[in-house]
Amino acid sequence: MLLSGRTADPAAGETDGDSTPDLVEIQDLGVSLDGLPVLRQVWLTVPAGQAVALLGNNGSGKTTLVRALLGLTPHQAGAIRLFGAPAVRSGMSRRDGFHSWWRIGYVPQQVAISLHATTLAEVVRTGALAHRHDAVWGVTSWLHRRHARQVVAQALDQVGLTAQAKELFIHLSGGQQRRALIARALAQQPDLLVLDEPLAGVDLAHQGLIRDVLAGFRERGGAILVVLHETEALAPLIDRAVVLRDGRVVHDGPLPTDPETHWGHELEAPPRAAGLMTGLGPHWER
Ligand SMILES: Nc1ncnc2c1ncn2[C@@H]1O[C@H](COP(=O)(O)OP(=O)(O)OP(=O)(O)O)[C@@H](O)[C@H]1O
Ligand SMILES: [Mg+2]
């Protein structure tokens, strides 16, 4: 964690002063999939200690943006900086890029098949092992295995899944699986959480639990980029909302109070996207 006592590293976009460094800087990003433009001229920042919601209709490009940020989907234009350093550039493979993905805890929108044959505790443990502490020193020593066990137990407790630790991941309910993936991301002890619809299928009581966990993470200096459709549960946590429409940023500012009606009308354009408000096609009229 940035504010957990470790000395700030200016080269990694960290400061000791009051200014909050941007952990994520996306500049003029363009992504095409199967030859069709999906993201166009996207600018986005996520400062340390902030929670930014990424909103937009189905197919507007939210998951594509998240995947591009993580180096999972290549981009054809623009630049992505993570923790103050270039992440991946156009035409660059993830392997050639900035090696700080271990600082990002990721909850994907869709669960990977490979998780299905393992227990919940093993799934969460993969997050703990992704942390640099283990990545650097290996996982063979008794001390590190004990540390990983403690981290896993804490993460499971945070999402209310301690009793299910030994169950097969595939036997968990949909909402429990979402919470398990959040636990895995937390177990990584990241500086940045990237969550793609983390509350999908999660019941109201556990939505509150997750909100409190995320609030604690943010208060300790962590940053959050969270894709949402329903904003109500996390609204108290959100510092800023970025709205995508047809692959473009059409709003960067306060959380829209009534998204369903608000998004159908002209939104305040962010400074860099000014001038893009025309020619957005029929979807813009809605
Ligand atoms: N691998 C792919 N190949 C081709 N097109 C793709 C691919 N992945 C996504 N797309 C297209 O890119 C667009 C954006 O998809 P994306 O998954 O980013 O949307 P989203 O905003 O996350 O939507 P949702 O709210 O439904 O999750 C969609 O039109 C989708 O069909
Ligand atoms: Mg999506």
The per-residue pLDDT for range 65-95, each reduced to its tens digit, is: 999 999 889 999 999 999 988 886 555 555 5
pLDDT average, residue stretch 250-266 = 70
pLDDT interval class at 33 (50, 70, 90): very high
Ligand 1 contacts CB of residue 61 (under 6 A): yes
- Beta bridge partners, 77, equal 30
Give the span between the Cα atoms of 107 and 6, in whole angstroms: 25
How far from 115 is each of 98, 123, 131, 180, 201, CA to CA, in Å?
A: 26, 7, 18, 11, 18
Protein residue closest via CA to atom 10 of ligand 1: 33
Report how far ligand 1's centroid is from the alpha carbon of 221 (Å).
Answer: 31
pLDDT interval class at 227 (50, 70, 90): very high
Q: List alpha helices for the chain, DSSP H.
A: 62-69, 120-130, 132-137, 142-158, 174-187, 204-219, 259-262, 282-285
Sort strands 85-89 and 22-33 into parallel, antiparallel or unpaired.
Answer: unpaired
214 pLDDT above the threshold of 50:
yes
- pTM of the shown model: 0.83
Ligand 1 contacts CB of residue 264 (under 6 A): no
Per residue in 102-141, pLDDT (tens digit) is 899 999 998 875 666 789 998 898 888 776 554 455 545 6
Ligand 1 pocket test, candidate residues 29, 31, 32, 33, most atoms within 8 A of CB: 33
Residue 230 in contact with residue 241, Cβ under 8 Å?
Answer: no
201 pLDDT above the threshold of 60:
yes
Give the span between the Cα atoms of 117 and 12, in whole angstroms: 37
Name the least confident of 48-62, 228-242, 271-285.
Answer: 271-285
Q: What is the CATH code of the structural domain delimited by 10-285? A: 3.40.50.300
187 pLDDT above the threshold of 60:
yes
